[in-house]
Amino acid sequence: MPSKETLDPDEEIIEGPEARFQILPRAAEQLRSISLRENDPKVALRISVESGGCHGYQYKMELTNIDEGAGDYHFSSPTIAPSNVLIDPVSLALLKGSTLDFTTELIGSSFRVTDNPQAAGGCGCGVSWEAKL
Amino acid sequence: MRRLSFPLSCGICQPRSYASHTCIRRGNSSTAKPGPRYSPVPHRAVVSITGTEPNLSTYLNGLLATKVSPAEEKYKGFYSTFLNRYGRILYDVFFHPHPTEPGYLVEFDPRSIPRSTPAHHHDPFPELPVLLKRFVLRSKVKVKDVSDEWRVFAVWGGETEEKDDRKREVSFQEWTWNPRSNTIEPKWRDGKVLDNDIDDTVTKGIGTGQWDRRVFGMGRRILWPVSEEAVLPAEYQFVGKEEYNIHRIANGVPEGAFDNADALPMERNIEMMGGIDFRKGCYVGQELTVRTYYTGIIRKRVFPISLVPRAGTSSVVPPHASIKATRTPKGVEIAERFLTISKRARARREAAGQDSSYIKTRGTVLSRMGDTALGVLRLDHVDLYEQGEMALSVEGDDGDVWDVEVKRPVWWPKRPVSEVGPSLPQ
């Protein structure tokens, strides 16, 4: 959880049961295998929300290091380690309660954010989504 | 050099002239030229959107239906639209360059109008500043409601305005039709869109504004700080906001929540006025808009109309009244597809001496000032009306009836013969 000092004045700290983010076992396994492959236990997946796409919001994911995560929320699977996920406070407001999945499809495998309680409809290509109000 | 040809006489006087009509092309009455004037624009709120490039243009490109290039030396004013995810209009807006900070002052109509479309076609109507703030996230962009700091004025009818119109006539090349879907976009000579900058001597570094290039003859928009007196050259007469509405309606420009909220942009001529770009990438509402461009068909558009009360009519036209289309005696050959009722039901009604000439779809009256108004009309109805085969009317309470006369503006694009696409749907 970020400390009060690292927050911008107009950001809010999300606490307690609100600050929930679920990592499915197969997503955690994938994070662990990335970590083993890179030989670095500090590897972390950063998930953020950006504006854009035909429905207003889209997810952005990138690999980073937990040392880069000052001021971010740090999530990990309780059973599969290392499985680090970093979410910044602004994005968590739009991501809380969601689930991180890793799906394997014919066209490729990828991490996906699913069951986002904040999301309403999505666009045809599945990239962008709209927030419920 | 090819120039647009404008008839010397007012083109809309024929064939259906009406005594006190207003000339569309020049924006002035055929009886008296009103001269240079300026007036407050009614129902305006202002929000400031500031930030440095490229943050600001990236942020705006995700939300606006037109392309925003990163500002180079200075920010430029433009007209644009915010759509919802169903491709319906939330706000039609002017972005004016901010006079003191990097960014824009955006003027919009803050009213929330009860809507007629089914609930699944829209989400709760967000206030523009709230909508904008929701998408800022981590962008270095600041959004602030500054409605109580600015007043919006329209300026038209002066020599400066006529000069700009001439400049624009030269720059305008032709209308680009999409023969498939009936969308119409202005094409500018050498692909160069005239920039909308107004002379700084008017705003004097404290105000801002731009040329209103939605249609010919609209003049200028100027934003003035509430704390300062708006000053224009002496020949400009200050008039009430009703005058602006008359000017806008006569020029066929739908504006603000009452005219546009929740409508499909092409059914409000927005792409003709430059408020939609069919070629830019993702923005909210793009999916539906571009699908309409490629596979849809535009059946309705906004026209200036006159409402002529029939004898005995004493009330006023109700807001958003519907416009009924009926066959005229000359229009007996009108195809079956226009008629609401079946052939058999019609024969029965005719035998009983009842009116059997109801036409399926209805139009809608939008902004109205006295007997001039804007109307959303089916394009095929307008064609039949102009051939004298269809009559349009509005019914009020207590049997009040107004006959609708369509005033097709002179500048209205004419479909090139070479590009005649499929006829309207059967």
Q: What pLDDT, in 10s, does the model give residues B216-250?
A: 889 999 999 999 888 888 899 999 999 999 999 99
The pairing of strands A119-122 and B37-40 is unpaired
Q: Which residues of B37-60 are buried (b: 16+ CB within 10 A; e: fewer)?
A: bbbbbeebbbbbbbbeeeebbbbb
Concatenating the DSSP letter of every residue in B319-349 gives TT-EEEEEE-GGGGG--GGGBSS-HHHHHHH
Record: contact A52-B62, CB cut-off 8 A: yes
Contacts 24+ apart (CB under 8 A), A92-97: A92/A14, A92/A19, A92/A21, A93/A12, A93/A14, A93/A118, A94/A49, A94/A57, A94/A118, A94/A131, A95/A21, A95/A47, A95/A49, A96/A14, A96/A18, A96/A19, A96/A20, A96/A21, A97/A20, A97/A21, A97/A22
Q: What is the dihedral of CA B46, B48, B54, B55, to 10 degrees?
A: -110
DSSP state of B269: T
B59 near A CB under 8 A: yes
Q: What is the pLDDT of residues B353-411, one digit of tens each?
A: 776 666 767 899 999 999 999 999 998 889 889 988 889 999 988 889 999 999 988 88
Helix (H) or strand (E) holding A36: helix A25-38
Q: Quick one: closest CA in A to B59, which residue?
A: A51
CA dist B215 → B91, B299, B311, B312 (Å): 18, 21, 35, 37
Assembly ipTM: 0.78
Residue with tokens 């002529």: B308
Banded model confidence at residue B124, pLDDT cuts 50, 70, 90: low
Chain A contact present for B8, CB below 8 A: no
Whether this prediction's pTM lies above 0.90 is answered by: no
Structure confidence at residue B143 as a pLDDT band (50, 70, 90): very high
DSSP alpha helices (H): ranges in B157-240?
A: 159-171, 200-203
**What amino acid is encoded at A67 in this protein?**
D
Superfamily of domain A19-118: HesB-like domain (2.60.300.12)
Question: Residue A131 has what pLDDT?
Answer: 81
Q: Does A8 touch chain B (CB under 8 A)?
A: no
Cα nearest neighbour of A90 on chain B: B137
Alpha carbon distance B158, B152 (integer Å): 18
Nearest Cα to Cα of residue B408 among B4, B15, B20: B15
In this structure, are residues B177 and B419 in contact, taking their beta carbons and an 8 Å threshold? yes
Structural domain B7-298, CATH architecture? 2-Layer Sandwich (3.30)
What is the pLDDT confidence band of residue A108, given thresholds at 50, 70 and 90? confident
What's the pLDDT band for B22 if we cut at 50, 70, 90?
very low
Window from A5-19, A84-98, B29-43, B101-115 with minimum mean pLDDT = A5-19
Q: Which residue of B has its CA nearest to A57?
A: B135
Query: CB A130 to CB B85 under 8 A?
Result: yes
Which residue blocks in B41-191 are alpha helix, DSSP H?
Answer: 55-61, 128-134, 159-171
pLDDT tens-digit map of B324-362: 888 887 776 666 666 666 677 778 877 887 766 667 678
Contact residues, B window 100-129, toward A, CB-based 8 Å cutoff: 123-124, 126
Is A120–B123 a contact, with Cβ atoms under 8 angstroms apart? yes
Task: Give me the residue spans of the domains in chain A.
Answer: 19-118
Q: Quick check: B62 and A133 CB within 8 A?
A: no
pLDDT (tens digit per residue) in B180-207: 898 999 988 887 888 888 877 777 778 9
Q: A53: nearest CA in chain B? A: B282
How sure is the predictor about B74, in pLDDT bands with cuts at 50, 70 and 90? confident
Where exactly are the structural domains of chain B? 7-298, 302-419
CA distances from B298 to B291, B293, B364, B365, B412 (A): 12, 9, 16, 18, 16
> Cis peptide leading into A41, omega within 30 of 0?
no
Identity at B248, one-letter amino acid code:
R
Hey, which residues 245-264 in chain B have their CB within 8 Å of chain A?
A: none
